[in-house]
Structure 1
Amino acid sequence: MSIKDGILAEITHETQNTKRILDSLTNEHWNYKPHEKSMTLGELASHIVELHSWVHLAVSKGVFDFHTDYQPSTATTIEELKAILADNLQKNKDFVAAQTDEFWLTNWKLQAGSHVLSDLPKLGAFRYIITNHLVHHRGQLTVYMRMLDIPLPGLYGPSADEK
């Protein structure tokens, strides 16, 4: 199996998991915030969907600079997030399918202006900066859902709500 085959499988699975979460949400909870220091549910869901887009937007560059390359989401509804997620899945698949294994071993930097936040191979960026990051935030979102008494879909097996 090539590196891109593994990435394509992971992208497909994780996008499906995010869609399952979004399918459980409604716009009525968009502004829910469990704590004053927390993001709203809408902001958190937007950030998760945004991270999915980083496969084709950020990894395609040798350096991704928050000051010049980052465009925050402007979505205001769950429906918009679902459409963005679906669109990004195809863009990600097309992007990954066009890359060689050697591409994933080349260097990538995440920075804010001249401050380097991360410097690692693109494969590491995909796993650490994108996938692990979105899984972390998706876990936070499931806590919001539990606090709102929204049944949780199983992501890596059945949830307590599906048994």
Structure 2
Amino acid sequence: MPINELLLAEFDEEMKKTRTTLERVPADKPDFAPHPKSMALGKLAPHIAELAGFGATVLTTPELDFSNAGNRPRPPFEPAGLLKAFDENVAKARDALQNMKDDSWTQPWKLSFQGKPIFSGSRFLAYRQMFLNHMVHHRAQLGVYLRLNEKPLPATYGPSADDRMGF
């Protein structure tokens, strides 16, 4: 079985869980942050929505230097805009994943800023660490923000206090 086919089920499941979490973002709390060193919700939620498209970048380019990426507008901090941006980015990443060939996974991939390395490794590690694990990390952060704002948490890897999954 091709590697991309093995990864598609995981991709679909993680994106579904992330979308369900984004659906619960309170639109009236863009300035909320659980700590002064934490990212504000108005930055975190759009970051997650745009991060979904980073998977396509990892899978279709040999490298990315953030300083050359340009200033793209962030998705708007309102429910419909966040979900629209997320869905569009997920579609791009899924398309790139569907079209990956097995020999592409071992090719080198680099992430840098102004030429200074942030990550260097195989495309597979970049996909897993810099994209998918990164997405899950921020989704977990978002879960803390939701809990602190009395919003129900969706089940992700099992039941939550708010979503018992039928148990």
TM-score strictly above 0.5: yes
- Corresponding residue for residue 51 of structure 2: 51
In structure 2, the gaps of 5 or more residues are none
Q: Distance in 2 between matches of 1:144 and 1:110?
A: 28
In 1, are the aligned partners of 2:51 and 2:135 still within 8 Å (CA)? yes
2:117 counterpart SS class: strand
Give percent identity, aligned residues only: 33
* C-alpha spacing 1:25/1:114, structure 2 compared with 1 (3 Å): closer
Displacement of 1:137 after TM fit?
Answer: 1.2
Q: Distance in 1 between matches of 2:62 and 2:138?
A: 25
Letter in 1 for 2:142: L
Q: Distance in 2 between matches of 1:24 and 1:95?
A: 28
In 2, are the aligned partners of 1:47 and 1:73 still within 8 Å (CA)? no
Letter in 1 for 2:47: H
Letter in 1 for 2:107: T
In 2, are the aligned partners of 1:59 and 1:108 still within 8 Å (CA)? no
Displacement of 1:7 after TM fit?
Answer: 2.4
RMSD: 1.5
1:24 aligned onto 2:24: yes
2:60 counterpart SS class: coil
Q: Deviations over 1:129-151 (max 9, x none)?
A: 11111111111111111111111
In structure 1, the gaps of 5 or more residues are none
- Corresponding residue for residue 160 of structure 1: 161
In 2, are the aligned partners of 1:66 and 1:111 still within 8 Å (CA)? yes
TM-score normalized by the length of structure 1: 0.92
- Corresponding residue for residue 66 of structure 1: 66
Displacement of 1:158 after TM fit?
Answer: 1.5
Alignment coverage as a number of residue pairs = 163
- Corresponding residue for residue 130 of structure 2: 129
- Corresponding residue for residue 85 of structure 1: 86
TM-score normalized by the length of structure 2: 0.90
2:83 counterpart SS class: helix
